[in-house]
Amino acid sequence: MKNLKFLSLCLLIAGALTLSGCIGESIDKTTKKAQEALNKKEPIIEPSIPADCISWFDGCNNCFVIDGEIGGCTRKFCSEEVSEKPRCLKTRLIIEGIEEEEMVLTIGPEKVDCIGVGPQKCLVVNGEMFYESIEGFNYKSGFEYEVRVKKSLTFGTRDTTKIPADASMYKYELIDILSKTEK
């Protein structure tokens, strides 16, 4: 019912804008599709957001989630022809006081020179240098990967006085390789 009211409002606004001559053919197409959906009384089915999801991909834009509801999204222009399947990108789990998080990472096709404790080769993850390793993941250069990983506290604490200076606070474990594309 909420979606139907929203669709009706969008239809009303689009119709008013069309009459005033302020918009072009793309709104006319949207208006026509909305009118067809209203006439057929077809329910608009939106995928449900899992309760533990904290980051949602709506098929085009990345959104943050608060208590199972979208709190805000990026505003990229998206055409229906290119939209992807909506999915949860990050989940948050609290297990016996130890925080864990599932996330989807995009790993670039080449490692780059970087300096951690010393000179090393780093993965490029989501466009940034990634100094850690991912347990269970066998990287092969020349491929771009999309992977789902579990991020958890390496030593079971956020207290940095209990973590060695040259160690990471987090560890990453491979859950699934979602895609592997040759570049």
Q: Is the pLDDT of residue 96 over 60?
A: no
Question: In sequence order, what are the residues at sequence separation of 6 or more whose Cβ sits closer than 8 angstroms to the Cβ of residue 47?
Answer: 86, 87
Identify the pLDDT of residue 11. 43
Mean residue pLDDT of the chain comes to 75
pLDDT in tens, 34-93: 455 555 544 445 678 887 788 888 888 888 888 788 888 888 888 776 667 888 887 776
Highest mean pLDDT among 38-42, 66-70, 133-137, 158-162: 133-137
Contact (Cβ atoms closer than 8 angstroms) between residue 89 and residue 52? no
Torsion angle of C-alpha atoms 111, 135, 96, 103, degrees rounded to 10: 40
Q: According to DSSP H, which parts of the chain are helical?
A: 2-20, 25-40
Contact (Cβ atoms closer than 8 angstroms) between residue 71 and residue 54? no
Identify the pLDDT of residue 29. 46
Question: In sequence order, what are the residues at sequence separation of 6 or more whose Cβ sits closer than 8 angstroms to the Cβ of residue 108?
Answer: 123, 124, 125, 127, 144
40-44, 62-66, 116-120, 124-128: least confident range: 40-44
Identity of residue 170: Y
Rounded Cα gap, residues 59 and 49, in angstroms = 13
Does this model's pTM top 0.85? My answer is no
60-69, 98-107, 161-170: least confident range: 161-170
Find the mean pLDDT for residues 92-108: 75
Rounded Cα gap, residues 42 and 7, in angstroms = 12
- Cα 169 vs. chain centroid, distance in angstroms? 23
Identity of residue 51: A
Pair of tokens at residue 25 = 């053919």
Cα-based distances in Å from 26 to 29, 31, 83:
5, 9, 17
Find the mean pLDDT for residues 171-178: 94
